[in-house]
Amino acid sequence: MSGFSFCVRATDGRARTGIIETPRGAVRTPAFMPVGTAGTVKGMLPGSVAETGAEILLGNTYHLMLRPGAERVARLGGLHRFMNWDRPILTDSGGFQVMSLAGLRNLDEEGVTFKSHIDGSVHVLTPERSMEIQRLLGSDIVMCFDECPALPADEEEVARAMRLSMRWAARSRAAFGDRPGHALFGIQQGGLSRELRAESAEALREIGFDGYAIGGLAVGEGQAAMMGVLDHAPVMLPADRPRYLMGVGKPDDIVGAVRRGVYMMDCVLPTRSGRTGQAFTRRGAINLRNARHQEDPRPLDENCTCPACRSYCRAYLHHAVRSREIIGAMLLTWHNLHYYQALMAGMRTAISDGRFAQWEADFHAARAEGDIAPR
């Protein structure tokens, strides 16, 4: 087994395409990671996820530690085997979801004590325990344990959380140790403040990580504020290591982030939307629940090669969504993941060819046209 490595293959402005090599396979960047929260990308078989072009999944430490439990997953051979996905997996640290999902929490220098949202049982997460859980799961890319405050928050609170996260990053680094073939990523915090982002980036670079994430965004600040941060935050982090923007986002968020120097992203949007009747297309997002689709014999997108577009008309998808049939969630999730992966592939090619600006202009022009007219 070789180790973990990353190299940039082409640069176009701040946008870069490259490749992450891991013992479980390569990940071409810019990369979008579908979210496999609790050991499954909801509504998809792993083989289908791979067919969409996904080369890496994200797993959630918070969900998996509560159910089925990290020790149990380890006894069953690790998360890859458990969920039948043999390509790379990145796991988050649990920090973000403890703050957003768990009941009653108590946070101190040591870590976080919280109650499970499933059964109310009490659990503790510290940097050391988060590293242990991610090791037990068999994660290929491990994330530092951090505290991520919801925005808006006052700068003092954002600074306190960032500095705590930096001390936790040092503890995460120490606890992670030396694991050939596995990577540990630090997470930049600092909210919307350029100074705090710079301080955080400096702290992380001093500790030294295999990759660097931008955390604390897509937490309620809005797209304009997020892009404002992305105008300066990514370039504070090493360009020759993966740069990962956590929890983002909508298609235009992703394109804007790639233009600003981000290489990796994850988001529940394509999968969650697929379960609520929303489909992403070149011409924007459409809601299949809408009666305008009820007798439309055309596919979602005549240029798309996913199973939903190859074999079904909009009227069928409308019917399946309205009837709450599982196949509606299955087909729309597949389509949305296919759309996201095609988006990333398009950007990788455009960057390689040095025509990212033109690609981006075409992307926005197609969306501006709006959905194909009802029949």
Residues within the interface to a second copy (CB under 8 A): 38-40, 42-46, 67-68, 72, 75-77, 82-84, 294-295, 297, 307, 311-313, 315-316, 319-320, 322-323, 325-327, 329-331
Place of tokens 């069953």: 76
- As a whole number of angstroms, the distance between CA 323 and CA 86 comes to 35
Is-catalytic flag, 92? yes
Helix (H) or strand (E) holding 281: strand 278-281
**Contact by Cβ (8 Å): 18, 6:** yes
The one catalytic residue in 12, 92, 253, 371 is 92
Amino acid at 3: G
Place of tokens 């405050």: 149
The residue (of 41 and 213) whose beta carbon lies closer to a second copy is 41
Is-catalytic flag, 301? no
- As a whole number of angstroms, the distance between CA 109 and CA 105 comes to 13
The one catalytic residue in 12, 210, 266, 296 is 266
Q: How do 5-12 and 15-22 pair as beta strands?
A: antiparallel
Place of tokens 């969920």: 83
CB of 326 to a second copy, least distance (A): 5
CB of 278 to a second copy, least distance (A): 16
Helix (H) or strand (E) holding 265: strand 264-267
CB of 87 to a second copy, least distance (A): 14
- As a whole number of angstroms, the distance between CA 328 and CA 307 comes to 12
CB of 119 to a second copy, least distance (A): 11
The residue (of 67 and 364) whose beta carbon lies closer to a second copy is 67
Catalytic residues: 92, 266
